[in-house]
């Protein structure tokens, strides 16, 4: 049997290619699990220049399999940043005007403390010895990073999917530190259907014989097949039936006839297999377990006595929520419920539902209506904040 490929993310776990902020035992991270994480580190990227008033900072929160390389080349894949279409000099989020910060979340695998990081108590990767991480834990760590820059109030916090969950948590936990918030394609809690899909993915990883109870690094193994299947299942949820049909239909892959076997006869099969195998080169399997669990545990209303409006009581933050008509992972109803809660809390809120057949992943793609909504909201908020164009 061929040896597993070397995980490129392994090298990034402790010594990332991006800047990293390390916190010693005197500054532990308090976790919802009831324990303290210490020492720990946060890997991040910044773009643009922080102004003298420290009033032009934008925090971008990444999605489940994202990272801090939002507008710069990814050191593992060599690909452009995952939101370079939106962020950069002269772009909608203009780094000639704004100071953009994006950090790898705690529990991730590209430099912030996660299951692939070295546990100082053992000298080995944490594996499942790392406490379960929540969205609130991620935001607490980000808040410590923001403190490091001496920023009292962020001009804007934005992100999609799991990133949108972080935006909502920021606005709820630190309302006085968020001038404007832009949650995209997200929800105030994970639905039972979403939890179910995540559980399928986790079970695929844990059923891989190379998983070794999460200690695969110690065995020189990686649960590639299980993680690839998990990614394939998840990737289907990011798309829509219309998009799949438009792109693939029932077209055959490099053949004229059915093989009457179990090879990838159809283009969609080949596409999903490719997605799975390229994913295992850039992501850690245990981190996938932790990231999906953090989304499953997120329930902002439950954290406030079951009333979502109470999560935003008295907020002065300006909100804009965006959903997509074909997103069945976080359907428009999820965004509407947040809008209703914000209205009940007396918040300043706008809402845009964008017509598209591209599904949940639309927030990562070149969607003119999305960009127009972001540009309008950012521009209006900047004027209200007194930031010159």
Same domain, 76 and 47: yes
pLDDT at 6: 44
149 and 96 share a domain?
Answer: yes
- Yes or no: say if 175 and 312 are a contact pair by the CB < 8 Å rule: yes
Q: Is residue 9 part of a domain?
A: no
Same domain, 229 and 352: no
User: Does residue 13 belong to any structural domain of this protein?
Assistant: no
**Tokens of residue 74, six digits:** 């990814």
Residue 175 CB neighbours (<10 A): 17
Using the structure block, give the residue that is written with the tokens 């994970």: 190
Q: How many domains are there within the chain? A: 2
Residue 8 has a pLDDT of 56
Q: Looking at 292, 327, 350, which one is the last position of a domain?
A: 292
- 231 labelled as ligand-binding? yes
5 located within any domain: no
359's tokens: 């599904």
Task: Please indicate, yes or no, if residue 8 is contained in any of the structural domains.
Answer: no
Long-range Cβ contacts of 240-248 (<8 Å, 24+ apart): 240/326, 240/327, 240/328, 240/357, 240/358, 240/359, 242/326, 242/357, 243/326, 243/357, 243/358, 243/359, 244/268, 246/357
Shared domain check, 304 and 178? yes
Q: Is residue 10 part of a domain?
A: no
Are 162 and 307 in a shared domain? yes
The answer to the question of whether 336 is labelled as a binding residue is no
Q: Do residues 36 and 177 share a domain?
A: yes
Residues 168 and 46 reside in one and the same domain:
yes
Q: What's the confidence (pLDDT) of residue 4?
A: 40
* Residue 260 located in a structural domain: yes
Q: Which of 242, 277, 292 is the last residue of a domain?
A: 292
Of residues 250, 242, 266, the one with CA closest to residue 360 = 242
Residues 150 and 87 in one domain: yes
> Within this chain, do residues 51 and 176 fall inside the same structural domain, yes or no?
yes
- The tens-digit pLDDT sequence of the chain (389 residues) is 333 444 555 689 999 999 999 999 999 999 999 999 999 999 999 999 999 999 999 999 999 999 999 999 999 999 999 999 999 999 999 999 999 999 999 999 999 999 999 999 999 999 999 999 999 999 999 999 999 999 999 999 999 999 999 999 999 999 999 999 999 999 999 999 999 999 999 999 999 999 999 999 999 999 999 999 999 999 999 988 888 888 888 888 888 889 898 988 888 888 888 889 999 999 999 999 999 999 999 999 999 999 999 999 999 999 999 999 999 999 999 999 999 999 999 999 999 999 999 999 999 999 999 999 999 999 999 999 999 76
Return the pLDDT at 143. 98
Instruction: Assess whether 236 and 372 both reside in one domain.
Output: no
Residues facing 88 on adjacent strands: 94
CATH of residue 233's domain is 1.10.1740.110
Residue 14 lies in a domain: no
Distance of CA 279 to the CA centre of its chain: 15
Which residues in the chain belong to E strands, given as ranges?
A: 20-23, 29-30, 36-37, 40-47, 57-61, 87-88, 93-94, 99-103, 118-119, 124-125, 154-160, 178-184, 318-324, 348-354
Per-residue pLDDT, 2: 36
Give the end of a domain, one of 292, 325, 348: 292
CATH of the domain at 337: 3.40.50.1820
Total-model pTM: 0.95
In a domain, 15, yes or no: no
Provide the domain limits for residue 143: 20-189+299-385
Q: Indicate if 48 and 147 belong to the same structural domain.
A: yes
Q: Which residues are the active-site residues?
A: 161, 327, 360
Question: Is residue 97 located within the same domain as residue 159?
Answer: yes
């Amino acid at each position: 049997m061929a040896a597993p490929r070397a995980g490129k993310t392994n090298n990034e776990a402790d010594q990332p290619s991006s800047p990293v902020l390390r916190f010693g035992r005197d500054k532990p991270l308090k976790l919802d699990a009831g324990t303290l994480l210490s020492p720990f580190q946060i890997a991040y990227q910044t773009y643009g220049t922080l102004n003298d008033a420290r009033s032009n900072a934008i925090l971008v929160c990444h999605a489940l399999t994202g990272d801090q390389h939002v507008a710069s080349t990814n050191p593992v894949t060599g690909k452009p940043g995952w939101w370079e279409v939106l962020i950069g000099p002269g772009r909608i989020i203009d780094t000639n005007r704004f100071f953009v910060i994006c950090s790898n979340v705690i529990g991730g695998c590209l430099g912030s403390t996660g299951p692939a990081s070295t546990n100082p108590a053992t000298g080995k990767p944490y594996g499942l010895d790392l406490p379960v991480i929540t969205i609130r834990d991620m935001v607490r760590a980000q808040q410590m990073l923001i403190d490091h820059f001496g920023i009292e109030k962020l001009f804007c916090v934005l992100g999609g999917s799991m990133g949108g969950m972080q935006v909502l948590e920021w606005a709820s936990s630190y309302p006085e530190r968020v001038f404007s918030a832009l949650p995209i394609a997200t929800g105030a809690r994970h639905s039972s259907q979403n939890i179910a899909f995540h559980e399928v993915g986790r079970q695929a990883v844990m059923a891989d014989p190379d998983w070794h109870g999460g200690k695969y690094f110690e065995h020189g193994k990686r649960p590639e097949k299980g993680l690839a299947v998990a990614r394939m299942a998840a990737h289907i949820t990011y798309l829509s039936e219309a998009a799949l049909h438009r792109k693939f239909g029932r077209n055959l892959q490099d053949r004229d006839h059915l093989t009457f076997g179990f090879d990838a006869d159809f283009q969609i099969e080949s596409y999903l297999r490719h997605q799975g195998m390229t994913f295992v080169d850039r992501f850690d399997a245990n981190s996938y377990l932790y990231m999906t669990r953090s989304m499953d545990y997120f329930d902002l209303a439950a954290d406030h006595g079951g009333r979502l409006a109470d999560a935003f009581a008295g907020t002065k933050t300006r909100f804009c929520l965006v959903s997509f008509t074909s997103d069945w992972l976080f359907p428009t109803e999820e965004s509407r419920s947040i809008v209703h809660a914000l209205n009940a809390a007396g918040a300043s809120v706008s809402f845009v539902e964008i017509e598209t057949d591209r599904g949940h992943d639309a927030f990562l793609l070149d969607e003119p209506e999305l960009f127009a909504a972001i540009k309008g909201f950012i521009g209006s908020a900047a004027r209200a904040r007194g930031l010159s164009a």
